[in-house]
Amino acid sequence: MEWFKKPTVPREVRKREIDTLLHSTHVTINLPQIFQDGFIDTARGLRSRLGERAERLLHDPRRLESFAIGSDYINCSVTVPNFELLYARSKSAWSSEWAHLVLSLDLLVQDETLFCPVCAAQENGLHVQCRACGLSAMFDERVGEWDRTGLARNEPTHPQAEVLVHGARPLSSVEEILVGDGQTAMEVERLASFYKRHVRVRVEPRLFVWPERLKKRAT
């Protein structure tokens, strides 16, 4: 019986019905570099290859000052993007400035993948975990001030929960790119064509709408 089996990441994925792993990136700043390179790079990789030019591609360099291990990982989320992070980094027009890269779920089961029920940089990475226990912790009944009231089965408890995927990842790991509107879709398709990359682009407005629970917290 499933209850008595040892917890594993694949079992947690099935239990939580997780079907989406997202990496959010800026359409005009980061996506052209990703298309040019043919892969999604880590902060360490970008700095090694591009030197000072890499700094404009790093959304939050201060995060890495207190969370050095993050330099070797690509930050992701499951089911929904990290809305608070995107808004903080772009403020106005944030929904048209970002795209969500849908990554292969195979990345969740890799031994190097890490999980965090809160922002991974919080308390210098103190809450980062690995394997099934780490993934499970993202869905605890209560995480900090947040609980699971009104959440879908596959949505993490804390709005800034993270998955950290180790190392650079080729574009073949990207199953599709989600955008908020048709105009952004055309821009992404234009960039892909310019860099001769074949990617599927889909408009998915629901992933670019400020969640109700964050609206309530702000009032």
Domain boundaries, the chain: 2-218
pLDDT tens-place string over residues 25-48: 999 999 999 999 999 999 999 999
Buried b / exposed e across 146-179, counting CB within 10 Å, b at 16+?
beeeebeebbbbbbbbbbbbbebbebebbeebbb
- What pLDDT score was predicted for residue 83? 83
What token pair was written down for 149? 């009231």
pLDDT tens-place string over residues 116-154: 999 999 999 999 999 999 999 999 999 999 999 999 999
% of the chain with per-residue pLDDT over 90: 77
Q: Which secondary-structure segment (H or E) carries 116?
A: strand 114-116
Rg (CA), the chain: 17
- What pLDDT score was predicted for residue 60? 73
Whether the predicted pLDDT of 86 surpasses 80? no
- What pLDDT score was predicted for residue 219? 54
Three-state SS for 158? coil
- What pLDDT score was predicted for residue 211? 85
**pTM to 2 decimals?**
0.93
Can you tell me the distance from the alpha carbon of 76 to that of 161, in angstroms, rounded to the nearest whole number?
9
